[in-house]
Amino acid sequence: MLAVAQAHRRCPWLADLAGAWIFYSVFPLPPGITPRFERIARFAPWVGAVIGAAEALLWLGLAPAGPLAQIPLVLALGIALSGGLHLDGAMDTADGLAAGPERCLEAMDDSRVGASGVQAFVLLVLLRVGALALLAPQAPAALVGASVWGRVAPLVAMQAFPYLRPQGGTAAFHRRHWRGWARELAPTLLLLGLLSGIALGLGWPLWVGLGWGGLLPALLVPWSLGRRLGGHSGDSYGACVEWTQSLCLLLWGLLLLWGR
């Protein structure tokens, strides 16, 4: 514990990593570290990599049972480990878009889920079910990659669009502590390089190319939502995660299918 506390003092960024760890997941925090909730978004992809790795391990462990058991249980694990944080945002965002510009923020703040939110949930789940069925044996690598790229998308939203609630909101601290694209993206670039190296080391060159293809949904989803909403909020950051993950899995599944 003493070593952890000393590392904490020498590396201030460790406090933001700890904040990301408990903000974006239900994982317990190691003792001796005090979390800080300022520049945590830059470490969200690292948390996503851990969640994706847990999903991949469960997929492999359930291999004897086949996709009929693997797909729903892996999806349930992903939702559980993230605490449903991003999925809630995706549903609220769908309700806000359906309510129109005048009532958008009001609808997103409403704790009740509307018909559009339910439809968004069902569509996201169906997209992932179909995508994982297409991916089958390649699903473990895809689960990790999609979980990482899903959490890159909010970084794009934070950089490119204003925050929708000028008076402040639960996610306003992201923009308040934003230090610019280069500094906030540095941990993600390190992670992507590490994952590419692991894929090459395991003899998966295909996944290096496909994995970087996740950049396309990670750019298009926050851009599309930002244009429609006129900016972003905490809910739409969550929507960026969910839709990017689903579209990454679907894109990779279709590319593998067409490449056979």
Res 6 pLDDT > 60: no
- DSSP annotation string for 87-122: HHHHHHHHHHHHH-TTTHHHHHH-SS--HHHHHHHH
**Choice between 179 and 144, residue whose per-residue pLDDT is larger:** 144
Q: How is the chain split into domains, by residue range? A: 1-37, 44-258
Q: What is the mean pLDDT of residues 72-79?
A: 97
Helix/strand/coil for 203: coil
Cross-strand partners of 163: 232
**Choice between 175 and 154, residue whose per-residue pLDDT is larger:** 154
The Cα–Cα gap between 243 and 153 comes to 9
pLDDT band at 243; cut points 50, 70, 90: very high
Res 107 pLDDT > 90: no
**Choice between 161 and 100, residue whose per-residue pLDDT is larger:** 161
Full-model pTM: 0.92
Distances (CA, A) of 192 to 72, 145, 185, 243: 27, 9, 11, 20
Q: What is the mean pLDDT of residues 98-126?
A: 89
Tell me the torsion sign for CA atoms 134, 200, 64, 49.
negative
What does the pLDDT read at residue 153?
Answer: 97
What does the pLDDT read at residue 166?
Answer: 64
pLDDT band at 2; cut points 50, 70, 90: very low
**Choice between 182 and 122, residue whose per-residue pLDDT is larger:** 122
Res 183 pLDDT > 90: no
Quick one: DSSP state of residue 5? Answer: H
Res 254 pLDDT > 80: yes
The Cα–Cα gap between 79 and 173 comes to 24
**Choice between 179 and 134, residue whose per-residue pLDDT is larger:** 134
Output phi, psi for 232, to 5 deg: -135, 160
Q: What is the mean pLDDT of residues 1-16?
A: 63
The Cα–Cα gap between 243 and 247 comes to 6
Q: List, for residues 21-69, the tens digit of each pLDDT value.
A: 999 999 998 887 888 888 999 999 999 999 999 999 999 999 999 999 9
The Cα–Cα gap between 210 and 142 comes to 9
Res 7 pLDDT > 80: no
The Cα–Cα gap between 74 and 49 comes to 15
Q: Which of 4-18, 111-125, 193-207 has the lowest mean pLDDT?
A: 4-18
